[in-house]
Structure 1
Amino acid sequence: MGFKSKKYSIDSTDYQVGQDNISKWGMDVHNTVFVASLGLSILFIVTLLALPPADAKAAIDSIKGAVLSNFDFLFMWGANILLIFAIIIAFSPLGKIRLGGEGATPDYSKASWISMLFAAGMGIGLIFWGVAEPTAFFTNWFGTPLNVEPFTEAGRELALGATVFHWGLHAWAIYGMTALCLAYFVYNKGLPLSMRSVFYPLLGDRVWGKTGDVIDILTVLVTLFGLATSLGLGGTQAASGISHVFGMENNIYLQQSIIVLIMGLAIISVLRGMDGGVKFLSNLNMVIAFIFLGLIAVLNFTTVLDSLVTAVTGYVKNIIPLSQTSGRDDTTWLHGWTVFYWAWWVAYAPFFGMFVARISRGRTVREFLLCVMLIPTMVTTAWMSIFGGVAIQQVIDKVGKLGVDQGITDVSLSLFHMLDAYPFGDILSFIAVALIIVFFVTTLDSGSIVIDGMTAGGKLEVPVKQKVVWAVISGVIAMVMLWIGGTQSIQALQSITIIAAMPFTIILLLGSVSLFKGLLTEVNKPQVSTNQVK
């Protein structure tokens, strides 16, 4: 389907996906994007092997600190603007536009669709931070939000409210707008599933040349490094959990073995395809997660009800103060937490956006935005309120290790320390470890699908072996970095991803403007279903 309006037009023959592709060894990849992405990834690994991990991390952290401090307004207002954009589009007449045209129907049930977007978006983060973050805010571990007094009722309300703020509407607006930009241009304009397509209304035919190549290469690298970071951090948390539950020594060999396990399971999932792989695992994730959540809720019913009310109250009361940069006297906390989170969501947005775009044909713009923003926000609110509320109550009542230490001492073990307070804590910890592994398998599987699509020029269907290649590369990067520098190297890679998020914030804002221009071309125009993309 051509892209035509009064100000710009494109005929689908202008950019034939695959015309510049390599088709050797049964693979189908975009020459420039694939070669450059693979080459830069290898160069990055070789460079890391040659540098002392501590020195490299110190230098990178210095740059990251400068970015977060000097461009805090860009991250904060970028998130605010994207949320405002999403609300306006969802409730305007543009919200009636259907992705793929009026005749398009969804490829997945709403339950499976929501499970997949949630598992790809934040599932593993809730396991890692569900206990640690609210407890950190309540006990003044690296500052408190809005400089509230720690260990007080006001501190408890703001600790839970600020946690929901970080995982709520702003975060999902960043994800949702990115995904909507991609889905719209793919399904309604027939363009390739790549970041370059989003900018056609602004850049014209330049997106099919070197300018577009640069956009796609940057997107691949940010996504790849984000995946490797998550895989490395997840491997260390899973290793901590296994060591804690089974008494095994938590060393580099255990961590590497877990990453190999995750990588192997992800490859099996890739080979099973979207329905047998990501869809199945995402549904399994949600079942295990809700059973886990339900057990904790039943065991702490009174605390949980109070925590839910407190979290929602704290979120609603403080969403505006927490969204601002001016007049804040908690800048250390702001830069270390909120600005860092906004940068991380931006860095992860291309990965999430491309994966969700693949599975969202047939949804209206309004349904898409409201589901992507509201349902995950409600789930994350429940999760953070329940686990965070129970952990804070343990601190207050001096129960378990959290109570004895009056806070967290090891982020990777914070969840397991909370679970230890129960008579069958080992069983709950085992469920937590299983959930961590399954979430990471889902993330690596969906991530390899996304990277593969980008390096194939935006195609939706590519040879399976290419997905396996990127799953392996992501795992190898994580393993190499853990081997040469442990968590220091992984944190350095995370810092690089955060630094790259600064220009990506501008890219997402421009992409939203481009989306708005594209949506306006649909007004009062008959829509034709686009079921296939070249």
Structure 2
Amino acid sequence: MKKTTSIFWISIVISVLFVSWGVIAPDQLIKVMTSTQSFLLDRFGWFYQFSATFFLIFALCVAFSRFGKIKLGKPEDKPEFSTLTWFAMLFSAGMGIGLLFYGVSEPVSHYTTPPFGTSQSIESAKISLEHTYLHWGFHAWAIYAVVALALAYYKFRKNMPGLMSATLYPLIGDKAKGPIGHTVDIIAVFATVFGVAASLGLGASQINSGLHYLIGMPISFNTQLLIIAITTVLFIISAGTGVSKGIKYLSNTNMVLAVILFFSFLFLGPTQYLLELFSTTFGGYLQNLPSMGLRFAPFNPENNQWVKDWTIFYWAWWISWTPFVGTFIARVSKGRTVREFIMAVLIIPTLVCSLWFGVFGGTGIYFDLVQGLDVAKQSFETSLFFVYEHMPFGDVLSVISVILILTFFVTSADSATFVLGMQTTNGSLNPPFFVTLSWGLILAAIASVLLATGGLVGMQAAIIVSALPLAIILLFMSYALIKSFRQELSVNKEVKQHKKSA
């Protein structure tokens, strides 16, 4: 209890008020959130778009600059985890549930309702995968990489608290420890809470769909509430064991199950078609990356709304996740160099995500476009299991998927409770169990409120609203990081010159 801070208690009080609002006046809550979302998308959609592109350019420039050799830690520090375990941990925390929820459904949705062109055509099939890669690729991981880089640098190199406010110290000095810094940390806490709660809501709804497919469990809010309650107990237990035990073992389990599922999909489905489709569409993604990353359609309101509903939503989602994923990646990345860190976080997850969507989404498109099955009419929650019905060993794959969604649910949530604990205990690497327990219950409560009030619509609104102030903070963070890097290299240069002259 001694480690708790005013940030913890303020954040808890605001969270309880939000949950109470959702319970007492759910219609009013969703109305306020969706109207705010519409306002922000109309007035500030361009800001999210430019910010995401900026972070990608910034990450690449830093990686290939003279700053690339700086180590995230002391000169003698070695990486705490093996490269494979490190990758498994950052990947499981980063996008786990979304890969299962959107794996088939997002490419099929874009194929049915493309950002431009004719729907359910060969051209829309290509466009659908290219835009899915855009949403889950370099831009997303660049946003994560920049925040994680700043947090790891100040924590392990400068011995500062692992807080978002600490990354602004080069700009605002001791004000980072006062009201301004506290406000930054509270904004980060709530962006994390809403971003993760949305993912937990998606996970609960898809676990429900999987159990409906396997054992006929009814699809209902009460069922999803029960799923959230059970998994909450599991992830609180896991979070209580710390990063090196529960989270580490579950992350490795996730990777094994995900690899099994991926190769099963690849080799039980139309293998040659999928590999050729991935090669073509990934090449198109790389070729069109700059224009896709900055695209709007101001002369076509319908197409422009598509960009806001999908691309801008994703940039907001990844931004809202940065305090969580960034803190977690920073926590497990001690001893890496800046260049090694950025290139690993940018390239490997982007390739894995793109391959995943190429195989899963490509299979869904193949069944609809080539086989004539009506995949396009399935809901986001059920499209994956509909595809399983038409594949060999579909029941086995469904069981693996439900287990994988459950373990992704647990790792995302327990990583989030751990990070929220760090953020609200002055950056403690081992937050008290009371704190992680409190945040576990809050996450479950907010996920339930969002599911009850607006489902996916409510989750999108919460993410977009919470991400705007955080995006502004991240831009200042980027400037502060460059300022610190320059100061460090300048000092090192002076030390070397002094040694030579001596």
Q: What letter is aligned with 1:520?
A: R
Q: Deviation at 1:480?
A: 4.6
1:83 aligns with one of 42, 52, 56: 56
Contact 2:191 2:470 survives alignment (8 Å): no
Q: Deviation at 1:48?
A: 1.6
Q: What letter is aligned with 1:37?
A: S
Residue 196 (structure 2) pairs with residue 227 (structure 1) = yes
Q: Which secondary structure does the structure 2 equivalent of 1:361 belong to?
A: coil
**Counterpart in the other structure of 2:279:** 309
Residue 293 (structure 2) pairs with residue 323 (structure 1) = yes
- The separation in 2 between residues aligned to 1:55 and 1:524, in whole angstroms, is 55
1:426 aligns with one of 395, 409, 412: 395
Contact 1:138 1:151 survives alignment (8 Å): yes
Greater alpha carbon shift after TM alignment, 232-241 vs 381-390: 232-241
Superposition pairs for residues 411-450 of structure 1, below 5 Å?
411-450=380-419
Residue 464 (structure 2) pairs with residue 498 (structure 1) = yes
- The separation in 1 between residues aligned to 2:468 and 2:54, in whole angstroms, is 15
- The separation in 2 between residues aligned to 1:282 and 1:175, in whole angstroms, is 18
Residue 109 (structure 2) pairs with residue 136 (structure 1) = yes
Contact 1:160 1:310 survives alignment (8 Å): no
- The separation in 1 between residues aligned to 2:264 and 2:54, in whole angstroms, is 38
Residue 7 (structure 2) pairs with residue 37 (structure 1) = no
Q: Deviation at 1:489?
A: 5.5
Paired residues, number? 490
Q: What letter is aligned with 2:223?
A: L
What do residues 339-361 of structure 1 show as CA deviations (whole Å, max 9, x unaligned)? 11111111111111111111111
- The separation in 2 between residues aligned to 1:523 and 1:87, in whole angstroms, is 19
- The separation in 1 between residues aligned to 2:211 and 2:134, in whole angstroms, is 31
Superposition pairs for residues 66-77 of structure 1, below 5 Å?
66-77=39-50
Q: Which secondary structure does the structure 1 equivalent of 2:109 belong to?
A: helix
- The ranges of structure 1 where at least 4 consecutive aligned residues each deviate by more than 6 angstroms after the TM superposition are none
1:341 aligns with one of 290, 301, 314: 314
- The separation in 1 between residues aligned to 2:427 and 2:31, in whole angstroms, is 37
**Counterpart in the other structure of 1:15:** none
Q: TM-score, normalised by structure 1?
A: 0.88
- The separation in 2 between residues aligned to 1:275 and 1:108, in whole angstroms, is 9
Contact 1:401 1:417 survives alignment (8 Å): no
Residue 262 (structure 2) pairs with residue 269 (structure 1) = no
What do residues 215-247 of structure 1 show as CA deviations (whole Å, max 9, x unaligned)? 111111221222222212211111111112211
- The separation in 1 between residues aligned to 2:252 and 2:138, in whole angstroms, is 23
Q: Deviation at 1:526?
A: 5.0
Q: Which secondary structure does the structure 2 equivalent of 1:71 belong to?
A: helix
Which ranges of structure 1 fall in alignment gaps of 5 or more residues? 1-21, 529-534
- The separation in 1 between residues aligned to 2:457 and 2:422, in whole angstroms, is 27
**Counterpart in the other structure of 1:377:** 350
**Counterpart in the other structure of 1:110:** 83
What do residues 435-461 of structure 1 show as CA deviations (whole Å, max 9, x unaligned)? 101001000110000000111011212
Contact 1:229 1:491 survives alignment (8 Å): no
Q: TM-score, normalised by structure 2?
A: 0.94
1:282 aligns with one of 233, 251, 255: 251
- Structure with greater proportional helix content: 2
Q: Deviation at 1:520?
A: 1.1
Q: Deviation at 1:477?
A: 2.7
1:204 aligns with one of 157, 173, 176: 173
**Counterpart in the other structure of 1:514:** 480
Contact 1:56 1:492 survives alignment (8 Å): no
Q: What letter is aligned with 2:306?
A: W
Contact 1:57 1:489 survives alignment (8 Å): no
**Counterpart in the other structure of 2:425:** 456
**Counterpart in the other structure of 1:242:** 211
- The separation in 1 between residues aligned to 2:73 and 2:363, in whole angstroms, is 45
Residue 134 (structure 2) pairs with residue 165 (structure 1) = yes
Q: Which secondary structure does the structure 2 equivalent of 1:523 belong to?
A: helix
Contact 1:311 1:381 survives alignment (8 Å): no
Q: Deviation at 1:427?
A: 1.4
Residue 434 (structure 2) pairs with residue 465 (structure 1) = yes
Q: What letter is aligned with 1:307?
A: L
Contact 1:99 1:360 survives alignment (8 Å): yes
**Counterpart in the other structure of 2:498:** none
Q: What letter is aligned with 1:49?
A: V
Q: Deviation at 1:73?
A: 1.3
Which ranges of structure 2 fall in alignment gaps of 5 or more residues? 496-502
- The separation in 1 between residues aligned to 2:44 and 2:450, in whole angstroms, is 28
- The separation in 2 between residues aligned to 1:77 and 1:67, in whole angstroms, is 15
Greater alpha carbon shift after TM alignment, 334-343 vs 459-468: 459-468
Identity of aligned residues (%): 38
Greater alpha carbon shift after TM alignment, 503-512 vs 519-528: 519-528
**Counterpart in the other structure of 2:500:** none
